[in-house]
């Protein structure tokens, strides 16, 4: 009858919240005491409520008694089924009062609200870094532990994050679900598409604080910063030569192995570096993408454009150490130096 009358005769001695039944009060009190009397016999987890333990046991048994009427996908918890059904309906009943975003489940809204509030209630016990979501903290913890729980069944490679495994699987399947709206080029990762789109827009959001250079992607900025610090963390296992960028090391290693993985589809030539292949392809296509801003003459190579521009500016940056004569190109200086020997 209390459900009809609204009577709540049982109140919490800690926070004074009222309840219609004593059992509900007892359950609530555990939120203050931290008591978890329902222990799993198969692992070391404990729970405040018997229903939570029952749900947890399905993780051990694999039981999924709740199935989607649309796609038949099974779930261990009814709440997860309800959230899933909204993906079919497109229903997003949880609306943010501070912006126009809506969410299909309440926990996503709660996480989103922290973006407005700047709240980061989950902190790393190792480095004290704060996070707005517990899931992000869990992922971060793996950077300290080195744990990689997501393993590829096709090659055995492991990953710290499930998203890393999903992206990796596309290297096996060849799937490229992300396409450029400008040129239709396809990518296996959304991040690669975003970086590619900047080649069309010219957007360079990553700026060096030590000079005025900007970059279209964060890893390029990180590599650039090493030109200021002199850091070279990547060393060749064969000759110990050090490099500031991993990609430069990879290219260098091919000088030892002789590997040329970039093959031209129009002739039998192969190249050790992708950019060499791209440059070579212009011989077949006749493409000359680099044009002189002074006379509009076009070139297939950027280096040739740079040399040409010097015919306008008169710049001669290459100096002979023997007689101090200057030249517009390195090759001209090399030819000159031979006249001294």
Q: Give the model confidence (pLDDT) of 158-173 as tens digits.
A: 998 888 899 899 989 9
Residue 114 has pLDDT above 70, yes or no: yes
Residue 3's pLDDT is what?
67
Please indicate whether the domains covering 206-285 and 290-340 agree at the CATH topology level. yes
pLDDT of 59-109, one tens digit each?
888 888 889 999 998 888 888 888 888 888 888 888 998 888 888 888 888
Which has more pLDDT, 279 or 105?
A: 279
Exposed e or buried b per residue across 317-335, where buried means at least 16 C-beta atoms within 10 angstroms of its C-beta: ebeeeeeeeebbbeeebee
Secondary structure letter of residue 330 according to DSSP:
H
Measured CA to CA in angstroms, residue 327 lies from 64, 86, 124, 132, 303 at distances of 76, 70, 58, 59, 15
Q: What is the pLDDT of residue 144?
A: 92
CATH of domain 290-340: 3.30.160.60
Q: How confident is the model at residue 181 (pLDDT cuts 50, 70, 90)?
A: very high
Is CATH 3.10.310.10 correct for 206-285?
A: no
Cβ atoms of 158 and 148 within 8 Å: the answer is yes
Q: Identify the weakest region by mean pLDDT among 82-86, 188-192, 323-327.
A: 82-86
328: closest CA among 300, 339, 313, 337? 313
Dihedral angle, C-alpha 271, 275, 279, 282, nearest 10 °: 100
pLDDT score at 313: 93
What's the first-to-final CA gap in the chain, in angstroms? 109
Domain boundaries, the chain: 206-285, 290-340
pLDDT at 1: 66
What's the whole-number mean pLDDT along residues 187-199?
90
Interval 212-241: pLDDT, tens: 899 988 888 988 999 899 999 999 999 999
Whether the predicted pLDDT of 111 surpasses 90: no
Rounded to the nearest integer, the mean pLDDT of the chain is 89
- Report in angstroms the alpha-carbon separations of 293 from 75, 290, 309, 313, 328: 63, 9, 8, 12, 18
The yes-or-no verdict on residue 40 having pLDDT over 80 is: yes
The reported pLDDT for the residue numbered 92 is: 86
Residue 293: pLDDT band with limits 50, 70, 90: very high
Cα–Cα distance for residue pair 157/138, rounded to 1 Å: 20
Confidence of residue 2 (pLDDT cuts 50, 70, 90): low
């Amino acid at each position: 009858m209390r459900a009809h009358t609204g009577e709540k005769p049982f109140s919490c001695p800690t926070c004074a919240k009222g309840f219609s039944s004593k059992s509900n009060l007892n359950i609530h009190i555990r939120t203050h005491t931290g008591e978890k009397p329902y222990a799993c016999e198969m692992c070391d987890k404990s729970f405040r409520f018997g229903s939570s333990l029952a749900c947890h046991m399905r993780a051990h048994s694999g039981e999924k008694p709740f199935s989607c009427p649309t796609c038949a996908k099974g779930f261990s918890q009814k709440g997860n089924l309800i959230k899933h059904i909204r993906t079919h309906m497109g229903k997003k009943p949880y609306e943010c009062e501070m912006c126009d975003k809506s969410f299909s489940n309440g926990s996503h809204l709660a996480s989103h609200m922290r973006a407005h509030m700047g709240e980061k209630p989950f902190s790393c016990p190792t480095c004290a870094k704060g996070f707005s979501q517990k899931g992000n903290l869990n992922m971060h913890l793996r950077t300290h532990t080195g744990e990689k729980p997501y393993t590829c069944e096709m090659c055995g490679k492991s990953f710290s994050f499930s998203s890393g495994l999903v992206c990796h699987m596309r290297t096996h399947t060849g799937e490229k679900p992300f396409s450029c709206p400008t040129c239709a080029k396809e990518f296996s990762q959304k991040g690669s598409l975003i970086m590619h789109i900047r080649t069309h827009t010219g957007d360079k959001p990553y700026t060096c604080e030590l000079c005025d250079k900007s970059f279209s992607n964060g890893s390029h900025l990180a590599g650039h910063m090493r030109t200021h610090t002199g850091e070279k963390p990547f060393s060749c296992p064969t000759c110990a030569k050090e490099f500031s960028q991993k990609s430069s090391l990879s290219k260098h290693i091919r000088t030892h192995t002789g590997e040329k993985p970039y093959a031209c589809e129009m002739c039998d030539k192969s190249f050790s570096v992708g950019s060499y292949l791209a440059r070579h392809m212009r011989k077949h296509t006749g493409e000359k993408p680099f044009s002189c801003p002074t006379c509009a003459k076009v070139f297939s190579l950027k280096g040739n454009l740079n040399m040409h521009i010097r015919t306008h500016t008169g710049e001669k940056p290459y100096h002979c150490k023997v007689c101090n004569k200057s030249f517009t190109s390195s090759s001209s200086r090399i030819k000159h130096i031979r006249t001294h020997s």
